[in-house]
Structure 1
Amino acid sequence: MTTFKKVVGTLHLWLGLSTGLVVFIVSLTGAIFTFQDEIRDATQAWRKVEVPARPTEFLLPSRLQAIVGKSHPELKPAFFMYMGPERSAVLYSTDKQGEYFATALNPYTGQELGHLDLHRDFFSIVQDLHMYLLLPEEVGGKVVGISVLVFVVMLITGIILWWPKRKTDRKRSFTIKWGARWRRVNYDLHNVLGFYASSIALILALTGLMMSFEWVMKSVYFVSNAGQDYPVEKTPPTVDTLQAVAASSQPVADVYYQQIRRTSPTAKMIFLGLPASPKQPVYSIAYERALYYYHRDEYYFHPVSGQLLKSIPHASKSNGQKMADVNYDLHTGQVLGLGGKMLAFLGSLISASLPVTGFMVWWGRRKKPKKQRGREVAVPV
């Protein structure tokens, strides 16, 4: 083994031992979360509604908000999600402790269909574990981000170590020797599966880093735009608090919603923000497809008058901004539909297995007698 590969092997080993547990948790929870929409649809009947025989428009946000206010007066509305023609509308609210609740309603009739405490919701816990390890966001986010960054280095060093030196070794490097002893099978599982899943795992890791670190997002934006910058699409408008404005004659949420419907008539899903402060613009998004987050028109509204301050249609966005928009769909695999989700699931599952099989390789070598280890060719983890 060359000196270069020895150095790479040592780096691969100690980086893996130091971040293996975090990579295992993040990868396993990522695999579980991949099919969360499909599992929710199968177990939560209130997520879907029957479309009326005669087409009717959705109820306005103020109507839905009033219904939730009567049944849950202790909660403060935060934002709406109109999920699509065949899906319920959801009002997200917070209690005095800042915990989030989701109330699902029939968008055609206003009937309350379900009420969910997100603090105790299984997939919300899985998502929090995936992103923050159930730690405070500032701490957990950095731990996860750094561990995923190390995982990218692990993937690269792993491929360098795996790469067969001779042509005669290639067949052996691409297959798992199932009939061998368990240590050899474990070694093959670590190397062969790691190679096959490396491209998918790299995409999942890089898209995750775009969520964790702003400098990664800026780098992707810079490269995608060939070095050009488009500040108009990245800078939100400001609310002129010195200028007196007349309050809207109707609930501002209804004004936001109606303007979005007029400007993005083909949008199936709408994220509708609600005023949090008279000094901050209200941000909302119109998505072209339900449960897909790539094709989006973005809006900023005045919190008092309801006036449209700024809109960013999908068609006018730069390549860099479109890459940022498609990031979540890439990360979950749903950009390619069900097949993409299956690839993301398998890639995440194999990524979760790599710290386990790698640790077993290292531990097995520690337990061997010194003479036996001396007679063997050194195989880094």
Structure 2
Amino acid sequence: MTLKQAVGKVHLWLGLASGLVVFIVSLTGAIFTFQDEIRDVTEPWRKVEAQATAPLLPSRLQAAALARHPGVKAATTWTTYFGPERAATVFFTDSAQMPIMVSLNPYTGQVLREQNLRYHFFSIVQAIHMTLLLPEEVAKWVVGGSVIIFLLMLGTGLVLWWPKRKQERKQRFTIKWGARWRRVNYDLHNVLGFYAASVAGLLALTGLFMIFPVLLESAELVANGGRTYPQEKAVAKVDTLQAVTAATQPLPDVIYRTVQQRSPQAEMVLIGPAGNGKVPAYCWAYQKTLHYYHRDQYAFHPVSGQVLQARFHANQSNGGKLSDMNYDLHTGQILGLGGKIVAFLASLISASLPVTGTVLWWGRKQKSKAGGKKRHVVSA
């Protein structure tokens, strides 16, 4: 058996073992890529008319959102401002343990829509993409293991694709559409797989960074040239023994005003729960709406509203910036609409590879059986 034949065997059996998971994860990833654009069209309440007045403070939005949910405490909610032309949202878990998102006009506090995200189409797609609807600990290894196998298959696939002779090169780059369907299927698997390999590999790798944080930490270390930056990993803590003066305004309002002053260029601001007085309250300020790469992160004392920690994007190490951009890399949106289109096409091709590969394997298997029967008839 030659090296290429051995690689072919590995490629085949790894593909058969992981194909179904790769197909589902890739297809749902393709669907999720344009979720913001699709929702902007199908959910008109996501947009509002910009006004010259400042948005209402978070406490006002929280009160309006929770008016129909008196059992939910404002301190447990997540409040997000998406910019001057978008609705603000308040997210919480209701008394029935349902994830609820309320969209409001940030200038008037009018409730525009209330949604149960458990039954939202894109929430379901995202859950399938991330966990296959399996328990988290099981999904981590099923999805993560399959993605690792997919990366190995991209490598073995490139070995199998590589032409032996110069005259074969053109054939490796083009699909022979006029040929029989088996040949077209072969070309779809090989040619499309080659073109999508680099982007598909990046999408798979950034996905693994989310599943296994230790891999992301290793990538950060490489990006930093082996240097470590302990301050970027330091966790803010609340000294519960220290006497503090309670804020004279609602904590979310203190946080929002502070972040507006210290990150004035931020279009999107996400304010986390106030906590129980023992853990910090967090806030993230993003430079561009619906983009998560360029962000400043704050930690506040849950009683006094004092800033315990502030990390600014401009001061981050290369590794820290790589970590922050991971989601935008994974979805392609770091390059805007063009990047999303590339990620969408690469995800679709990734979903097609297990299908065309299985058809290729089945065709060869049937051909081998037919050849065996023919030889048997001849020898008889």
TM-score range, shorter chain: over 0.9
What is the 5 A alignment of 1:101-112?
101-112=100-111
Distance 1:245 1:97 in 2: 35
User: Deviation per CA, 1:63-106, whole angstroms, max 9, x where unpaired?
Assistant: 11111121232444421111111001100010234331100001
Deviation at 1:190, TM superposition (A): 0.4
| Aligned counterpart, 2:131 | 132
Q: 1:236, 1:300 within 8 Å by CA — same for their partners in 2?
A: no
How well do the aligned residues superpose, as a CA RMSD in angstroms?
1.5
Deviation, 1:371, is 6.9
CA 1:116 to 1:292, structure 2 compared with 1: closer, same or farther past 3 Å? same
Deviates more, 1:225-234 or 1:141-150: 141-150
Shift in alpha-carbon separation, 1:44–1:371, aligned structure 2, 3 A = closer
Describe how 1:83-94 pairs up with structure 2 within 5 A: 83-94=82-93
SS of residue in 1 equivalent to 2:30: helix
Aligned length: 372
AA aligned to 2:191 is V
C-alpha separation in 2, matches of 1:115 and 1:20: 38
Aligned to 1:279: 278
Specify the alignment match of 2:245 in structure 1.
Answer: 246
Which residue in the other structure is 1:64 paired with? 61
- What corresponds to 2:378 in structure 1? none
The 5 A counterparts of 1:209-288 are 209-288=208-287
Is the 2:80–2:89 contact (alpha carbons within 8 Å) kept by the matching residues of 1?
yes
Unaligned runs of 5+ in 2: 375-380
In the aligned structure 2, how far is the partner of 1:132 from the partner of 1:266?
Answer: 35
Query: TM-score, normalising length from structure 1?
Result: 0.95
**More deviation in 90-99 or 227-236?**
90-99
Q: Offset at 1:369?
A: 3.9
The aligned counterpart of 2:47 is: 48
Question: What amino acid maps onto 2:338 in structure 1?
Answer: G
Structure 1 residue 305 displacement after superposition: 1.1
What SS does structure 2 have at the residue aligned with 1:285? strand
Instruction: State the SS of the aligned residue for 1:85.
Output: coil
Q: Tell me the equivalent position of 2:205.
A: 206
Corresponding position of 2:25 = 26
Q: Distance in 2 between matches of 1:138 and 1:104?
A: 32
Partner-residue secondary structure (3-state), 1:270:
strand
What residue number does 2:148 align with?
149
Worse-matched range after superposition: 252-261 or 75-84: 75-84
| Cα distance per residue 1:154-205 (max 9 Å; x no partner) | 0000000110011011111111111111111111110010001101101111
Partners in 2 of 1:173 and 1:374 — Cα distance? 32
- The AA in structure 2 aligned to 1:195 is F
Cα shift at 1:276: 2.3
Which amino acid counterpart does residue 60 of structure 2 have in structure 1? R
Q: In structure 1, the residue corresponding to 2:298 is in which secondary structure?
A: strand
- 1:296 is displaced (CA, Å) by 0.3
Q: Provide the secondary structure at the position in 2 that maps to 1:16.
A: helix
CA contact (8 A) 1:365 1:373 kept: no
Tell me which residue corresponds to 2:344.
Answer: 345
Q: In structure 2, what is the equivalent of residue 179 of structure 1?
A: 178
**What letter is aligned with 2:356?**
T
Return the offset for 1:277. Answer: 2.3
Name the aligned partner's letter for residue 68 of structure 2.
S
Give the % identical residues: 60
CA distance in 2 between partners of 1:75 and 1:160 (Å): 57
Unaligned runs of 5+ in 1: 376-381
CA distance in 2, matches of 1:274, 1:368: 62
Match of 2:377 in 1: none
Q: For residues 368 and 161 of structure 2, what CA distance do their matches in structure 1 show?
A: 25
Equivalent-residue separation in structure 2 for 1:191 and 1:222 (angstroms): 35
3-state SS of paired residue (1:119): helix
Give how far 1:373 is off: 7.7
Change in CA separation of 1:189 and 1:373 when aligned onto 2, cut-off 3 Å: farther
Q: 1:231 to 1:374 in 2, by over 3 A?
A: farther
> What is aligned with 1:365?
364
SS in 1 for 2:77: strand
- Superposed CA deviations along residues 253-274 of structure 1, whole A, max 9, x for unmatched, are 1111110001001110001012
**3-state DSSP of counterpart to 1:180:** coil
Q: Distance in 1 between matches of 2:84 and 2:2?
A: 62
